[in-house]
Structure 1
């Protein structure tokens, strides 16, 4: 894939050592002045300029529905996400979560999801110079080339389908590209017959399935039933921090085998309260799932006061995290996959699965 091919990083500004005044040892010297190596933070910035972050989970849409008077086109201290801080952090693509607040009544799930889709589309219309709706992997790459932040809608909750595949098709027509089965009656410990139909229809449409929050048994069933890779949009390593939204090693191995994606969150309850703790989780995800199945899904989008790991309180902290991974010895090729390449690959795989399904239906 072109986006994952090794690219030569352009020369980054280096800090030239002082040249000594001419003297017996330096007059006529042919050696160029020595240069200091670029710092990890400089290298991180250079990497992100080529391979920006595709962040799998941001809850800003829900926050703005509750507090609609924020201007995210300028630095806004009322929320932790705005366009200037997304750009400062090197974010090139964002999945806008449309999940309901915890405790939403099941009979309100569909209406709430539709309200959030409407709010997300309004947000994108309001900031056309910074954000643009993305429906495909090509849209994601094109937005980057045009200096926009590619904006995907989803996940929406699986409980919003209310036993109707037509609801899934309607969400897809509105632009939704991720569905989260967790909490849906059709995706408990096992998939019901309707659950299997949902997985097949999601594959046919090119809608990704987000197994965050599913029980390990349900996540394994969904990953096994899906012909397209499945993802976990905001998770961490359950082996390091037990949490209902974290992913155990068996599921990580299944994601690795199926080409799926585990996207690390920056939620202190899931990872711990420091940038180093988040990096520890990324080390574990990479070791178990492999460098081709790990990504980033920070879960920004909240109001001030939400606990975030030190150094990662808003999207502008991404370069610091990448610098930490470089200092831990992550190859630049693995970081390029982490930030951008893996998300792009999974989207293309889902689209390929959808095209193959359409071919079978018409063949």
Structure 2
């Protein structure tokens, strides 16, 4: 890393902080803390995310994922999503000097100017809508600014990248949901969905789309990544792919290692890994007590035979350079104006070397600067592109529903 690159990155982050597309802190807090938001000002080493490391990482705006499991019945998923939205609002209220709820591009820019981290909401999976336009509109009124059309399982109206084809992309209900998202100014997020769904949504949408956390399929043929054919469609749509750091998506070697690990579990006759969606605390209940029901899963001992296998077959590490390769590939195919960053912190158990937590964004930016990226290139990546997409969705909305009350 050159001193010149470090200086350039410092200038970039001062002018255009990172506007990250996807962080799973709300669900990590649900699992580990019973949705308590305490301790984040002093540092939470058990998490990828806390306030000091967000500052070190130059993060100025964050889409907080309000993910809930796609295995839940849809009405239950809608309730759990409201609980996750509540967690983000409580997070911001607990740390008002550091965080601010943002609904619009202008709100994000005001937060930048005030030195606070703009906090936006992203629903991860159309199952959370329960096929209800009223639920969709209610989420929009609460400030949800994107909906990922599926998570890992199909909905009745859209196909997931990691499920068997169901409706061939989008059916009429799916197209109507895309139209309602456009009408209300909520971004269509195409991470997690099948390529058939991506293409159908791009054909149906009247506003730019987002891929909140995906990588380039040309570099790793993983179903969660985006093909060059779809990347080539982004300039006409105006959308942005926010490149993720998830090792399984970045590296074919890591993806193969994960498959071999699961095969070894099966060979040893070990039970499939399971987890239960954690409940929220009931009125008057101690969050720590609720969390204790689930933290045992995180500390359960590993079978000795499987431990010996992992010692003999260590997980491959992903490098910053490999992540940068995906970013550069997306720029080459889609263009500089159609790329961003979506780290997926606290959504996976392990991140690349030197990108282990949210403090790592400057490391990636310095890698790109050393490869010759200009200040304009880096500012497009860190935030300007996503701000444009957000603003265009607002301008094209015929019935915007986000709150209009003055921000604190």
Who wins on radius of gyration, i.e. which is larger? Answer: 1
User: Helix, strand or coil for the counterpart of 1:77?
Assistant: coil
Q: 1:50 matched to which residue of 2?
A: 15
Q: Which residue of 2 aligns with 1:63?
A: 28
**Matching residue within 151, 173, 176 for 1:194:** 173
Cα separation, 1, equivalents of 2:131 and 2:44:
40
How much does 1:214 deviate? 0.8
Q: In the alignment, what sits opposite 1:281?
A: 326
- Tell me, in whole angstroms, the C-alpha distance in 1 between the residues paired with 2:325 and 2:6: 18
Match of 2:148 among 155, 180, 184: 180
Secondary structure, counterpart of 1:92 in structure 2: strand
Partners in 1 of 2:90 and 2:121 — Cα distance? 12
Query: CA contact under 8 A between 1:156 and 1:176: conserved in structure 2?
Result: no
Q: For the residues of structure 1 that align with 2:347 and 2:131, how far apart are their CA atoms? A: 31
Structure 1 pair 91–320 and aligned structure 2 pair: CA distance change class (3 A):
same
Bigger relative contact order (CA 8 A; separation at least 6): 2
Q: Which residue of 2 aligns with 1:3?
A: none
Instruction: Select which of 77, 80, 86 maps to 1:109.
Output: 77
Alignment RMSD, CA only?
1.8
1:76 aligns with 2:44: yes
Name the residue aligned to 2:337: 292
Deviation (angstroms), 1:112: 1.9
Contact kept in structure 2, 1:234 and 1:245, CA below 8 Å: no
SS in 1 for 2:202: helix
Q: 1:234·1:297 contact (CA, 8 Å) conserved in 2? A: yes
Contact 1:94/1:149 (CA < 8 Å) preserved in 2? yes
| 1:244 Cα offset (Å) | 2.3
Separation in 2 of the partners of 1:162 and 1:79? 30
Question: Which residue pairs with 1:348 in the alignment?
Answer: 391
Q: Say whether the 8 Å CA contact 2:184–2:399 is kept in structure 1.
A: no
Give the conservation status (yes or no) of the 8 Å contact 2:217–2:227. yes
Per-residue CA deviations over 1:103-154 (Å, capped at 9, x if unaligned) read 4444532122122111111111111111110000000000010110000011
Question: What SS does the aligned partner of 1:65 have?
Answer: helix
Q: Distance in 2 between matches of 1:144 and 1:43?
A: 19
Query: Which portions of structure 1, spanning 4 or more consecutive aligned residues, are displaced by more than 6 angstroms?
Result: none
Counterpart position of 1:141? 109
Matched, 1:85 2:53: yes
Residues 109 and 157 in structure 1, CA contact (< 8 A), matched pair in contact too: no
Change (3 A) 1:115 1:339: same
Following the alignment from structure 2 to structure 1, what is the Cα–Cα distance between the partners of residues 399 and 119? 25
Alignment partner, residue 248 of structure 2: 269
Task: List aligned pairs for 1:214-293, cutoff 5 A.
Answer: 214-272=193-251, 273-293=318-338
The offset of 1:261, in angstroms, is 0.5
The 5-angstrom pairing of residues 18-57 of structure 1 reads 38-57=3-22
Partners in 2 of 1:125 and 1:235 — Cα distance?
Answer: 30
Counterpart in 2 of 1:15? Answer: none
TM-score, normalising length: structure 1: 0.84
Q: 1:245, CA displacement in angstroms?
A: 1.6
Aligned length: 320
Structure 1 residue 169 corresponds to structure 2 residue 137: yes
Structure 1 residue 208, shift from structure 2 partner: 0.3
In the other structure, the counterpart of 1:331 is 374
Tell me the distance in 2 between the aligned counterparts of 1:90 and 1:211.
Answer: 26
Q: How many Å apart are 1:295 and its aligned residue?
A: 0.2
